[in-house]
Structure 1
Amino acid sequence: MENTTNFKLIDGEFTAEETQKVLMSLINNKIDFHNLFAFSNHIRFNQDSNASKRRIEELTSTRDEIAELTKLAQSEGFSFRIKSNVSLELIKEPTLVK
């Protein structure tokens, strides 16, 4: 079995509005995941998940930047080409959630 496998996640051309919907959906799902993960750790183990909190801040900032960019693109009549791949690498032990 190979240690790394790549998957094409997004590959296409999108209007500014479609771009915002696609990327916001991905980012919001990641934020929801980290919120749930942090809440679960707090309830089950009485631990704060600083890694999740930092990642939520990063994702929120990215979400704001994408919102600004897509708004500008829409007002100027631009579209986007999005290419996104996911690389899965087999590891022995789990690391911090990203």
Structure 2
Amino acid sequence: MMLISNINKNLSIMPFIFAPEPKTISVMITMSEKRKSVDEKLTLNLIRGEFTAGEAVDLLSELFQSKIDFHVAQNFSHEERLGVAKSEAIQRIMELKNAKKESLDLVKGSGKKFRIHSNVIIEPLNQNA
């Protein structure tokens, strides 16, 4: 049995359940360097690891679906408030669905391991723009 953990607000590990099958999906969140001010770019390592085809399918499916759901909710809110679809959200939904299909087609049933990396870069925008 493998212990599955939950990460609390302080990024410490808290055990909460035992699972019969071991999984080795590791999703790491680390800061590349300490941020000094809100005006500086922040880079976070969201995903870094090696994954079986099944793990890659799970990880990529959840990641893409989360972003798709975000834009669906944005579009719904826009339609409710203004009575028209939000074209940017509709376009992004289509792009994400295509990327999801392409990535899953690559890994699904391949029997291979994959190295997956994903960074999140947060940059403040010029307020005058």
Q: Pick the TM interval, shorter chain.
A: 0.7 to 0.9
Work out which structure has the larger RCO, using CA pairs closer than 8 Å and 6 or more positions apart in sequence.
1
* Whole-angstrom CA distance in 2 between matches of 1:11 and 1:24: 16
* Whole-angstrom CA distance in 2 between matches of 1:82 and 1:66: 11
**Residue in structure 2 matched with residue 91 of structure 1 by the alignment:** 125
- Considering only CA atoms, is the larger Rg found in Structure 1 or Structure 2? 2
* Whole-angstrom CA distance in 2 between matches of 1:26 and 1:68: 15
**Residue in structure 1 matched with residue 74 of structure 2 by the alignment:** 37
Q: 1:67, CA displacement in angstroms?
A: 1.6
Q: 1:3, CA displacement in angstroms?
A: 2.2
* Whole-angstrom CA distance in 2 between matches of 1:91 and 1:66: 30
Asked if 1:71 is matched to 2:108, the reply is yes
Greater share of strand residues, 1 or 2? 2
Greater share of helix residues, 1 or 2? 1
**Residue in structure 2 matched with residue 17 of structure 1 by the alignment:** 54
The DSSP-based 3-state class of the residue aligned with 2:125 is coil
* Whole-angstrom CA distance in 2 between matches of 1:10 and 1:67: 17
* Whole-angstrom CA distance in 2 between matches of 1:29 and 1:47: 23
Aligned length, in residue pairs: 91
The one-letter amino acid paired with 2:122 is L
Q: Deviations over 1:65-87 (max 9, x none)?
A: 1121112522xxx1001111110
**TM-score where L is the length of structure 2:** 0.65
Which structure 1 segments of 5+ residues have no match? none
CA-based RMSD of the aligned residues comes to: 1.6
